[in-house]
């Protein structure tokens, strides 16, 4: 038996349609459309691609997309001043500062300056704390998208052994918090973990978020496990005897894993598209909350 392929791209398209369907009621109540503002500093090519696709998806959902492109030598003070302006702008429901930022800018200071109630990335310490104690706030888009895929596939997650490989603030740590909130038994593994293959083999749910191409091998996976591959690594095709150019691979050796797992997300077309769809979802939720418009529970 080979694993079922979890179609994150299709799931994300459905989520984006659900978000779009909830925009007109907001507009009728608030007299404006939800607004997402993205700030990008510098010219990083991959970042430019993500920012463009975020902008297109935002407009396709019927929301207002604004992008501020700042030069790489922008001072931290100028960036903080822009965030202050966006915090004060009532038409801005979501602020996303594209990471990574140039080295002369302190990311934590920048994130701390964003109004937590506009922090649709869920990176502000206030939202990190809210997630930790189970209060309503914003949850980082990638982990929330992973949970949506897992619940769609498995239903109730309670009691399952979940192993998260990677401890970043953006994916690993919030992913572990969300799985814990779903009553999984959660292990966070990382580069210092002893017997990493053995730890992974205990997982009913294995989430790979380490940023190392194809690190997780087929014999690290419990037969039938659900594997969520968060990695997006662009590798040189020639290392695989290919024609040249580059291709995207995850943190999981897909060809091996697909022979063992019960279900697995592909790269591309798995978790990546969910990140953008959840960003739109968070922006919509922000708009509804900020204007005090009721959003039916469980509607998104």
Residues forming the annotated binding site?
A: 166-168, 232
54 is catalytic: yes
48 is catalytic: no
- Which of Mg ion, ligand GUE, none lies near 282, with the C-beta cut-off 5 to 8 A by kind? none
108 is catalytic: no
Instruction: Name the token pair of 10.
Output: 């299709």
Considering the rule CB under 5 A, would residue 265 count as an interface residue with Mg ion? no
- Among 30, 131, 141, 216, indicate the residue that binds ligand GUE (CB under 6 A): 141
Among residues 74 and 275, whose Cβ is nearest to ligand GUE? 275
Of 184-192, 200-208, 268-276, 288-296: span binding ligand GUE (CB under 6 A)? 268-276
Instruction: Name the token pair of 15.
Output: 């989520």
Catalytic residue among 93, 121, 204, 253: 121
Positive/negative CA dihedral, 133, 136, 140, 142: positive
Q: Which of 273, 236, 40 is CA-nearest to residue 148?
A: 273
Among residues 50 and 290, whose Cβ is nearest to Mg ion? 50
- Please report, in angstroms and rounded to a whole number, the separation of the first and last CA atoms in the chain: 34
Decide the pairing of beta strands 161-165 and 185-189: parallel
- Among 50, 69, 102, 235, indicate the residue that binds ligand GUE (CB under 6 A): 50
**Maximum CA pair distance of the chain?**
58
Decide the pairing of beta strands 185-189 and 263-264: unpaired
In angstroms, give the least distance from the CB of 173 to ligand GUE.
15
Active-site amino acid positions: 54, 98, 121
């Amino acid at each position: 038996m080979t694993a079922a392929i979890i179609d994150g791209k299709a799931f994300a398209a459905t989520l984006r349609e659900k978000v779009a369907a909830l925009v007109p009621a907001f507009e009728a109540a608030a007299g404006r459309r939800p607004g997402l503002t993205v700030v990008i500093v510098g010219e990083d090519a991959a970042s430019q691609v993500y920012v463009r696709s975020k902008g297109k998806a935002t407009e396709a959902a019927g929301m207002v997309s604004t992008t501020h492109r700042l030069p790489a030598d922008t001072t931290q003070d100028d960036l903080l001043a822009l965030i202050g302006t966006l915090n004060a702008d009532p038409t801005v429901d979501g602020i996303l500062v594209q990471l990574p930022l140039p080295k002369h800018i302190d990311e934590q200071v920048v994130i701390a300056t964003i109004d937590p109630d506009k922090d649709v990335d869920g990176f502000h310490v206030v939202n990190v704390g809210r997630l930790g104690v189970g209060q309503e706030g914003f949850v980082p888009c990638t982990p929330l998208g992973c949970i949506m895929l897992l619940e769609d596939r498995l239903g109730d997650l309670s009691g399952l052994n979940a192993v998260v490989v990677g401890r970043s603030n953006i994916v690993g740590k919030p992913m572990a918090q969300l799985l814990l909130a779903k009553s999984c038994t959660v292990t966070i593994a990382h580069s210092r973990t002893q017997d990493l293959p053995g730890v992974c083999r205990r997982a009913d749910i294995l989430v790979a978020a380490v940023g190392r191409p194809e690190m997780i091998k087929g014999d690290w996976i419990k037969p039938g496990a659900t594997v969520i591959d968060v990695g997006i690594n662009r590798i040189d095709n020639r290392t695989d005897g290919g024609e040249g150019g580059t291709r995207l691979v995850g943190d999981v050796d897909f060809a091996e894993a697909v022979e063992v797992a019960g279900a697995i997300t592909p790269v591309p077309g798995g978790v990546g598209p969910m990140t953008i769809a959840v960003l739109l979802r968070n922006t919509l939720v922000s708009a509804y909350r900020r204007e005090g418009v009721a959003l039916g529970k469980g509607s998104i």
